[in-house]
A and B are shown apart, each in its own frame.
Chain A
Amino acid sequence: MTTRRDFLKTGSVAAGAVALSSSLPGALHGTEAMVPRVRHVATAPEMDAVVKELLMEALNAAKLAGASYADARIGRYLQNFVVTREQQIINVVDTDSIGIGVRALVDGTWGFAASRDLTKAGVAAAAREAAAIAKANGVARDRRITLAPAPAVPNASWKNAYEIDPWTIPVEEKADLLIRSNAAGLKAANVKYVFSALFFRKQERNYANTDGSVIAQTIVQTAIQQQFTAVSPDFSDFQNRGNTIQPVGRGWEWVLQKQLAENAVAWGEEASAKLKAKPVEVGRYDLVLHPSHLWLTIHESIAHPTELDRAMGYEANYAGTSFVAPPADFLGKFTYGPAFMNVQGDRSQPGALATVGYDDEGVAPDEFLIVKEGKVNDYQTTREQASWLDWWYKSQGKAVRSHGCSYADNWSSVQFQRMPNVSLMPGEKEQSYEDLIAATDRGIAIVGDGSFSIDQQRYNAQFGGQLFYEIRGGKIVGMLKDVAYQIRTPEFWNSMDMIGGKQSYEVWGSFFDGKGQPGQVNAVSHGSVPARFRNVNVINTGRTA
């Protein structure tokens, strides 16, 4: 039962499979100027000499055991949660885990081993175990694995966009902020419960491979989770408002910018207003989707199906395959959406969750268009996968190289292809969310992400939201509830007829994107502009128990 107080897992209280985020359209802009006092200027890390020595010890042991290629990662993974409800603390949790993961390629087959034993003997044992597992798998080998070349990066360091390390902020300051925000939310009529949490991650990642790369990186990520619950006085209904703020690759400065106590009044009032919202009539509507909502539709219906391992069947036994397959039938041919549709993969947008200097194979990621002028143009790749598309890259006059999408969520996890930031790029015409509403005669505007579900090839999806507004004659005339829309991916994106311009671009994302066996969690951002979709099937999800 979800309410168990398994005290080591308190942080997962609100951690579903994917998603956090969203906010008021009005509250999304213009807070960048609120730069707090700098308590600690964060700088890129330098690799500790002892850590480097251990990495080299592991690589040497792997080579001696027969590896043609190996890489080793020593990482320290820290998490900090502060969890509250209403006017009280639920828990404070600080986790710290350190160890080494070694991946070895022997006779074209992978093996991986991980150990928390950071002695020379310990890391060498892990490396030998990785090589032994790789060798044992030889009995079941079919094709040999090969890696696309990547330039060696012999002495690199990098940090992401955080300014204030959340580990320098005292716990009472974190708790006080949440409790003040909860109090503001509870002022709204019928709002009886507020859940809120701060969730910080810090990853000190040290990497080396047998090609000669040695890389140190520090990454800090921040999520603010909130849920405001309004209960009707006769207990006939309750409504939640959550996913108010997007998670980011930033530090404590992000928490200050979001002005939780000031904004919570409005979030509480939205939960309250949902009790009085009109149930939606089923039918077809034009949808105006805010970036705080559309990011999740992009994530599910564009970003996942263009993971190359998924398209090639590597995730068939769990997350599924992709309708964007085989690549030869889609690259340069398939019309995903209108000609003004461009979707970029990158790990470079400052403050985005998938942004890194180097991936977990030592590759500096590039920016690439997954959908270019409406057509499928590329897939997300690692070094193992890039050569699968060599025919396409050669036909385009491009180098065969990894896009730098390798990622492992911990020292104890093996790296594989994970999603970069995948974003719907702005249109040429400078128009806003409000402009799209004004141009719509009969429709529904949706803010914030809610329920989401999509099939294992990414065709049929159903999405809810946080706030639904009825549009009549270019104006919002009231609030709706029990709204969900059902789509078939290609028809949905081809029904897009308006998108916002640069000024309307916002970056949202998920702290918890799952993939792989054993399952790993990735944090990823999706930039988006608001967009309009014609004639979409809307269902009513309200029932009585």
Chain B
Amino acid sequence: MPRDNITDVLSAPARLYHPGGSALPNDSILSRDDAQALIERIKQFSRADAVEVQIFGGYATNVRFADNQMSTAGGVGDFQVGVQSYFGAKHAVVTTNELTDEALRRAVEKSETLARLAPDDPESMPQLPPQQYQPVEAYFPSVADMSAEARARIALTALEPCRSAGDLTAAGFLQNNAFFTAFGSSTGLFAYHRGTSSNYTVTVRTTDGTGSGWGGAEHNDAGQVDFAAVSRRAIEKARASQKPVAIEPGRYTVIMEPQAVGDLCQLIGFYADARATDEGRSPFVKQGGGTKVGEKIVDERINLYADPFDPMVRAQPFDGDGLPLGRQEFVRNGVLETLYYSRFWAKKKGVQPTGAPTSFLMRGGSASVEDMIKSTPRGILVTRLWYLREVDPRTILYTGLTRDGTFLIENGKVSRAVKNFRFNDSPLFMLNNLETLGRPERLAGTEAGGAVVVPAIKVRDFNFTSLSDAI
């Protein structure tokens, strides 16, 4: 970019929505009507055969603390406009975060220039006609309006008890997000969603270096998060996990708290792609060709689904193509119900596209973690997992480690803290070895991200392959 573009921006007229010049709290969240007006304005600049516009705005605030003191804290407002122009089978995307007419016109023109030069995309799909969306109420002022001092006081729910204990150090993070997203195209399609989320996680370590515990919670409504309880849980886990002993790696009955279940089971969704399966490169390929749709792939008590309307999720009810999302079962009673179909692949195969889910849920049972422990003669209790990475895409075999509270269960009781394990196992193998389902919880984020609601589970023969000295 030539340097004078910056001066163009600086000398441009006042911004569309902030004549006062402030881009701070809530200025980045457009109402439905304002978002639609902005999309219409951008569409007027278009000379392409078709155009899609996606806009996103958000204001995110955070507080971070570590080593029993505050580290960084901030507030960030941003806005992004993405324009995708189409000429026949050619298309290209340009994004900008500038909202002057001049900058928007430039972005549209640039996407048109790039699209004209791009090779044909034989999989380019026509724009969707206008769709009906059922709105999701996900925006809560408890998050959007929380003050900087209120955020710092949440940090104190961990810092104060750890400082006064003398043998504990706390590290944690509170992130509040308020955002909106809107999508529109030249067919008149328009989709809008806005939401908030408050996410709080704490790790407490004992100063002798032998114990570490974790707690976390997330909700769209900060009023539904018990921040002090999260801090207390991390402290209790830290104390209970002190001075772990080494026990032999091998296959164990394992009770996984929901955080660990989410990290592993969410992976199944990432591999459930119809096209990759039809092409012979997914875990759901049948020997000799074809797919495992209709076959039992895991224990019959397992149900995996997406549902943006679930009150524990409140996720965006449309995907990046503007397809409405509803409740969709991927695994029902252990049977693979469907794979993910993009619009292109669905058309090619003569089926309905599924839309790209914005949530992942696993139906639970009624057992508490305590119930599961009571019924276990010998097993391992896992608080959370860490650094999950694919080892073999043919089986969803992943490796990773336990972290922040791993315990031995003997004769129905937690008997002692044990050293962390590395595992090499697949969620498909694991869900075939199911013993008990617990109660579903909204997770405070997984390694892969997204809105995830899963229960604790108890499984047989989970494969721990080595010990780790990490605390």
**B-contacting residues of A (Cβ < 8 Å)?**
1-10, 45-46, 48, 50-51, 54, 74, 76, 78, 88-99, 101, 109-122, 125-126, 129-130, 132-134, 136-143, 167, 170-172, 175-176, 179, 192-193, 202, 204, 229, 231, 234-238, 240, 312-318, 320-321, 323, 412-414, 416, 451-460, 462, 464, 482, 484, 486, 488, 517-518, 539, 541-545
Contacts and interface: CB of A to CB of B under 8 A. Distances in A.
A33 B63 CA distance: 51
A234 B60 CA distance: 51
Interface in B268-315: 269-270, 272-273, 275-276, 279-281, 283, 285-289
B395 A50 contact: no
17 contacts: A1-B273, A1-B356, A5-B343, A92-B93, A96-B97, A115-B77, A117-B22, A121-B21, A137-B152, A139-B149, A192-B279, A202-B1, A204-B1, A455-B403, A460-B466, A462-B422, A543-B397
A314 B170 CA distance: 10
A9 B321 CA distance: 12
A117 B23 contact: yes
B387 interface: yes
Contact of A459 (B56, B94, B397, B470): B470
Interface in B61-85: 62-80, 82, 84
Contacts of B93: 7-8, 10, 91-94
A140 B159 contact: yes
Nearest to B106: A96
A115 B153 CA distance: 25
Contacts of B68: 142
B92 A94 contact: yes
Contact of B389 (A452, A482, A488, A545): A452
A314 B286 CA distance: 47
B468 A455 contact: yes
B70 A1 contact: no
Interface in B342-359: 342-343, 356-357
B470 A460 contact: yes
Contact of B14 (A119, A136, A460): A119
B18 interface: yes
Contact of B469 (A94, A138, A488): A488
B399 A451 contact: yes
A456 B391 contact: no
A458 B410 CA distance: 30
Nearest to A232: B280
Contacts of A121: 20-22
Given A98-B6, A122-B23, A455-B468, A110 B72 contact: yes
A112 to B, nearest CB: 3
B237 interface: no
B192 interface: no
B7 A50 contact: yes
B75 A133 contact: yes
A99 B420 CA distance: 43
B175 A453 contact: no
B414 interface: no
A78 B386 CA distance: 32
Given A97-B80, A139-B152, A454-B387, A130 B401 contact: no
A96 B96 contact: yes
Contacts of B94: 93-96
Contacts of A45: 3
A142 to B, nearest CB: 4
Interface string B152-173: 1101100100010000010111
Nearest to B419: A460
B423 to A, nearest CB: 10
Contacts of B18: 117, 122
B319 A486 contact: no
B392 to A, nearest CB: 5
B245 interface: no
Contacts of B288: 234-235
Q: Which 6 A-B pairs have the closest CB atoms?
A: A121-B21, A4-B356, A6-B320, A112-B74, A136-B148, A460-B468
Contacts, number: 376
A160 B76 CA distance: 28
B272 A1 contact: yes
B299 to A, nearest CB: 15
Interface string B233-255: 00000000000000000000000
B203 interface: yes
Interface in B124-163: 147-149, 151-153, 155-156, 159, 163
A482 B393 CA distance: 11
B24 interface: yes
Tell me which of B23, B66, B202 has the highest count of chain A C-beta atoms within 10 A of its own C-beta: B23
Q: Which of B65, B91, B153, B280 has the most CB of A within 10 A?
A: B280
A95 B156 contact: no
A175 B119 CA distance: 7
Interface stretch (B35-43, B110-118, B371-379, B452-460): B110-118
B386 A456 contact: yes
A286 to B, nearest CB: 20
A285 B417 CA distance: 33
Given A113-B76, A116-B97, A545-B396, 16 more contacts: A8-B320, A51-B6, A93-B94, A111-B74, A119-B15, A141-B70, A142-B68, A175-B118, A175-B119, A179-B119, A192-B279, A231-B280, A317-B201, A451-B391, A455-B422, A459-B468
Given A89-B119, A460-B467, A114 B92 contact: no
B152 to A, nearest CB: 5
Contact of A541 (B72, B114, B205, B392): B392
Given A121-B20, A238-B281, A518-B62, A317 B173 contact: yes
A287 to B, nearest CB: 17
A98 B18 CA distance: 16
A92 B1 contact: no
Scoring B72, B118, B119, B285 by chain A CB atoms within 10 A of each residue's CB, the highest score goes to: B72
B147 A451 contact: no
Contact of A172 (B65, B117, B393): B117
Nearest to B205: A316
Contact of A111 (B7, B54, B73, B121): B73
Name the residue in A4, A112, A323 with the highest tally of chain B Cβ atoms < 10 Å from its Cβ.
Answer: A4
B465 interface: yes
Contact of A171 (B117, B122, B395): B117
B47 to A, nearest CB: 18
Contact of B73 (A10, A134, A317, A457): A134
A91 B92 contact: yes
